Amino acid sequence: MTIDNFNFSGKKAIVRVDFNVPLDENGHITDDTRIRGALPTLKKILADGGALIVMSHMGKPKGKVNPKLSLSQIKDAVATALGTEVKFAPDCAKAADAAAALKPGEVLLLENLRFYPEEEGKPVGIDKEDPAYDAAKKEMKERQKEFAKTLASYADVYVNDAFGTAHRRHASTAVIADFFDADHKMLGYLMEKEVNAVDNILSNIRRPFTAIMGGSKVSTKIGIIENLMEKVDNLILCGGMTYTFAKAQGGKVGKSICEDDKLDLALDIIAKAKAKGVNLVLATDCVAADDFKNDANTQICSVKDIPEGWEGLDIGPDTMKLFAEAIKGAKTILWNGPAGVFEFDNFAKGSRAVADAIVEATANGAFSLVGGGDSVACVNKFGLADKVSYVSTGGGALLEAIEGKVLPGIAAIRGDK
Ligand code: AMP
């Protein structure tokens, strides 16, 4: 079933959204992107004459009630965004009466799902090495099913619009779907958009395809790097990874971030790229700093000749040109992870140059997908989010989808699990 083909009139819909919004110390929302992202789905259901039960997690309360992570703090913001009153259920597993009392057009927001360990379905307070772990895990999986069944009992139809958690098999993101038949479960609009964007990258590749992978470490990106090697024409690796590659090739990297146990892996990637005919583009020069702070002293140097006590915090001018060339000619672009420590304005120029090149390629007809926490923060910082084709709300979920993994949240609805 698709959300466009379903008439919610007179129905109660339980919708999993990602309202895990950042809050300041007073509980005020500092970025409401995720709330805005879910509005098309929520508004469609209300406009049809349906009643809404909205559920989400916030933060990592690890199965315990934590008032600092209560969704009651965002109730008024959700009401304002929807333009209608929002009721609140202070215990997500005891909301049957509140759900039953809902009339068409009314909205009920459930308390943080992760106040219950059943949401994530991982046993708490027991070590993986403990001989009793397997039994505890099995028991928790049973409790997870019961928890999902309770949530399902509130509604006639289930909608999943939380792409950010689609790579998790949690009660509200996947297990709950088993309690609805195929005509009464569907992806929301945000989820559909995300899935289409990934499809565009994976099945509709217009060449050349350039991927830019940045961020801090090779180790966390290796899965996606190896996978992309099968697909891309140009693979730009930047950010902190640069120095592991530079050292692996015999360079001196000073005190730059470097994974000494990944030097062989770096050489492996270089060899694989060569064997597959992938143009691997690595930084040649960098902006080195004498301290990890915005107003540190800096010098431009080769990534393979960084003085003792200095560390590379951004790409240098030659590298900016090199990267821009590989980006500007591309017809498909994926960007994940900054080129430098973009949080410091003085080391954001490299990431800005990457973003500018992507914007230019997009204006010339390329499809560009930007995703994964920090690169999204980057395009937002530069005010360029509306000048790329698609900015994904998913971090881990996006990378797993691009790696070609089936996401449990999507499989649970489409039935291809
Ligand atoms: P990740 O979460 O792995 O995508 O990494 C993102 C983080 O990598 C950002 O906070 C950047 O500041 C950081 N980063 C990027 N380049 C460097 C670098 N050269 N040295 C240290 N950290 C970096």
- pTM for this one? 0.84
Measured in Å, residue 227 CA sits from the centre of ligand 1 at 21
Side-chain-side CA neighbours of residue 115 (13 Å): 19
- The closest alpha carbon to 31, from 23, 41, 43, 39, belongs to 23
Residue 125's Cβ-count burial label (10 Å; 0-12, 13-18, 19+) is: exposed
Strand partners, 391: 370
Task: Give me the torsion for CA of 249, 254, 256, 259, rounded to 10°.
Answer: 50
Strand partners, 367: 332
The ligand 1 atom at the shortest distance from the C-alpha of residue 342 is 12
- Given the residues 43, 331, 396, 417, the one annotated as active site: 396
- Given the residues 87, 141, 217, 405, the one annotated as active site: 217
Question: Which of 335, 341, 380 has most ligand 1 atoms within 8 Å of CB, for mutation?
Answer: 341
- Given the residues 34, 169, 193, 221, the one annotated as active site: 34
CA-nearest residue, atom 2 of ligand 1: 215
Q: What is the pLDDT of residue 394?
A: 83
What are the CA-CA distances from residue 355 to residues 110, 231, 336, 337 (Å)? 38, 22, 11, 11
Measured in Å, residue 22 CA sits from the centre of ligand 1 at 20
Measured in Å, residue 217 CA sits from the centre of ligand 1 at 7
For residue 181, give both structure tokens.
């038949």
For residue 18, give both structure tokens.
């990602």
Q: What is the pLDDT of residue 321?
A: 98
Active site residue 396: yes
Measured in Å, residue 378 CA sits from the centre of ligand 1 at 12
CB 280 within 8 Å of CB 270: yes
Other CB atoms closer than 10 Å to residue 32's CB: what's the count? 16
Measured in Å, residue 295 CA sits from the centre of ligand 1 at 17
Q: What is the pLDDT of residue 377?
A: 84
Active site residue 274: no
Active site residue 404: no
Active site residue 169: no
Q: How far apart are CA 75 and CA 85, in angstroms?
A: 9
The ligand 1 atom at the shortest distance from the C-alpha of residue 341 is 12
Q: What is the pLDDT of residue 402?
A: 86
CB 137 within 8 Å of CB 114: no
At 14, is the secondary structure helix, strand, or coil? strand
CA-nearest residue, atom 4 of ligand 1: 215
- Given the residues 121, 254, 373, 395, the one annotated as active site: 373
| pLDDT, mean of each 10-residue run, the chain (417 residues) | 96 97 88 91 98 97 96 98 98 98 98 98 91 95 98 98 95 98 97 90 89 90 89 96 97 97 96 97 98 98 98 98 97 95 96 98 96 83 94 86 90 80
CA-nearest residue, atom 21 of ligand 1: 240
User: The tokens 């099945």 sit on which residue?
Assistant: 203
Kindly provide the b/e burial profile for residues 140-157, where b requires at least 16 CB atoms within 10 angstroms of the residue's own CB. beebbbebbebbbebbeb
Task: Give me the torsion for CA of 218, 220, 221, 222, rounded to 10°.
Answer: 70
Residue 74's Cβ-count burial label (10 Å; 0-12, 13-18, 19+) is: buried
The ligand 1 atom at the shortest distance from the C-alpha of residue 312 is 19
CB 21 within 8 Å of CB 29: yes
Q: How far apart are CA 258 and CA 312, in angstroms?
A: 10
Q: What is the pLDDT of residue 417?
A: 45
List ligand 1's pocket residues with C-beta within 6 A: 215-217, 220, 239-240, 257, 312-313, 337-338, 340-341, 343, 374
Q: What is the pLDDT of residue 416?
A: 61
